[in-house]
Amino acid sequence: MSDEKFPGWHGTTIIGVRKGNKVVVAGDGQVSLGQTVIKGTARKVRRLSPGGYDVVAGFAGSTADAFTLLERLEVKLEAAPGQLARACVELAKDWRTDKYLKNLEAMLIVTDGKDLFVITGAGDVLEPEHDIAAIGSGGNFALAAARGLMESDLDAEGVARKAMKIASDICVYTNGNLTVESIG
């Protein structure tokens, strides 16, 4: 996201962790504009249930843009029930080529408990290595922390919560008010 286009605007931290038979997506609640915290309790992790098919999604970036993308993802999932990878690829194709969508500034982490993907506006649908995906301004901090915690006795939720705590201690655009959704 270009600082010229969004002066003083910063993201958030979202992490997805798969460990054992469980996938957890966690996100902080801070919304910042420049040096000011606008809101500390935003919900950036959502459960989607198109056609009874359970999906958890977290977003970083513009809230309005992310909601537009989540709505489009739901439509794609309704058209291809139980096929998260296909729905994500279709969304990424639209996002990259559609005149309106290609200007949206957000990133998504999505999971159905089996697959875990990062979707970007560049047309990427990425399966993360090491069963961890992280996005947003504190994403690299959370990712590094989670990779170090994966060999511990913590379950997926424990890894996600601890990694988010570490990220919130380092990244000024991330707070400790978490929304956590699990699947599996």
For 2-34, the pLDDT digits (tens) are: 444 444 445 789 999 999 999 999 999 998 888
Q: What pLDDT was estimated at residue 3?
A: 46
Spatial neighbors of 71 by CB under 8 A, at least 6 apart, are: none
The model carries a pTM of: 0.92
Q: Is residue 116 within 8 Å of residue 124, measured between CB atoms?
A: no
Active site residue 12: yes
Spatial neighbors of 100 by CB under 8 A, at least 6 apart, are: none
What would the mean pLDDT of 145-169 be, rounded to a whole number? 98
Domains and CATH numbers, the chain: 13-183 (3.60.20.10)
Query: Catalytic one among 12, 13, 111, 174?
Result: 12
pLDDT over threshold 50, residue 129: yes
